[in-house]
Amino acid sequence: EKSKKGAPSSWERMQQNGCLFSLLLLLPLATAFLPLAPLAPSSSRPLPTPSAHRPRTPLSSLRLSSASFPAFLPQEMEDVEDPDCVSMAQRLVRAPVKVSDTTAADTIMTSYAGGAAAGDGKTPVLCLHGFDSSCLEFRRLLPKLEEGGAEAYAIDVLGWGFTQRDEGLVKDFGVEGKRDHLKGFIEQVLGGRRTVLVGASLGGCVAIDFALQYPDLVEKLVLLDPQGYVEGAPMGGQPKFLQDIGIGVLKSKPLRMFANKIAYADPDTFGTEDAMRIGRLHCLSPPGWEEAMRGYMDGGGYKLASSIARVPQSTLILWGDQDKILDPSLYADRFVEDLGSEKAKLEMVENCGHVPHLEQSQMTCDKILEYLGMTVSARV
């Protein structure tokens, strides 16, 4: 049984155990991948505050000239070159989400994009990003899902992305808080409709946990290289000064670049400095990222390995065949075994690393649309 399940890789053990020394050791390795030049100076382009009720235009149709961004994004957004990211960032909005008193002292202004293809009778598709990331992770997949006719959204999970996390507002950045916040979003923004959850990496844990707790709100699951069998949170329970050092390393450009490089099968094409820049935007604004990280760590993280078999929903699992972070040979078939072949379908994504929604977005979109009964020929 032990050899069948396989031992976690060193990267996975670092995620699971949160070894501070492993984080520090990654710094010299990271610098070997790509020399990091200083970021280009910020342009003088103004950042007007957007209306929360702006027209929902498909991401791919937005013009990139005279770009403007929501005020809750950091100034460093001006340095981003990726046109898909610029388009999606222009369309980010915040909606007030009321949560329980144990999660927050007041409503949480929740950032998300999507809804361009909303329509009567449609089942919403909600994308959930991975650990310490943002909804910009879906900058290539979301517009393709919309073009295919799906009513698709991407949300910033509580504590990460650009969702509000002001000091004194959020009380629980752990699993329960994230679950409660997601429930509020589905009920209040999506109208309480049964939703297809698309979870990438740790977002797979968010999706699985929510499906187990609120099965009536979940239609189906789509898991992209999901983290389900690597449990816990990095540096949980460690002294605050050690956590602060580790969090500082986690925010650093060298470590971000290292993680950026190993996420792709083709790092030269996709693991660029611009991609690294996008991946750390949420660390810079809104305020409270450090406290949110500490809150998640102390909460203990997700522990779902023994519960995955109880997931009641039909589940599509897509896995990059060259994933260096979560080895598919160790975990992919295990999901199917635990969920059962009558509920779970596994498909490998060729020439792809840990992030199929970024590296093979069209292939990933096609597989999701087919799974949802929306054929490629039905695209608008």
Whether cis (ω within 30° of 0) applies to the bond prior to 58 is: no
DSSP code, position 104: B
Pair 126, 198: CB distance under 8 Å: yes
The rounded distance, in Å, linking the Cα atoms of 76 and 207 is 30
Residues carrying an active site annotation: 201, 323, 354
- Interhelix angle 175-188/202-213, nearest 10 degrees: 70
Report the C-alpha gap between 103 and 108 in whole angstroms. 10
DSSP strand pairing (108-114 vs 152-155):
antiparallel
For helices 289-299 and 175-188, what crossing angle results, to 10°?
A: 110
Strand partners, 223: 199, 317
SS3 content of the chain, % helix, strand, coil (to 5): 45, 10, 45
Going by C-alpha positions, the residue among 369, 356, 334, 226 that lies closest to residue 1 is 334
CB count, 10 Å around CB of 86? 20
What are phi and psi for residue 178, nearest 5 degrees? -65, -40
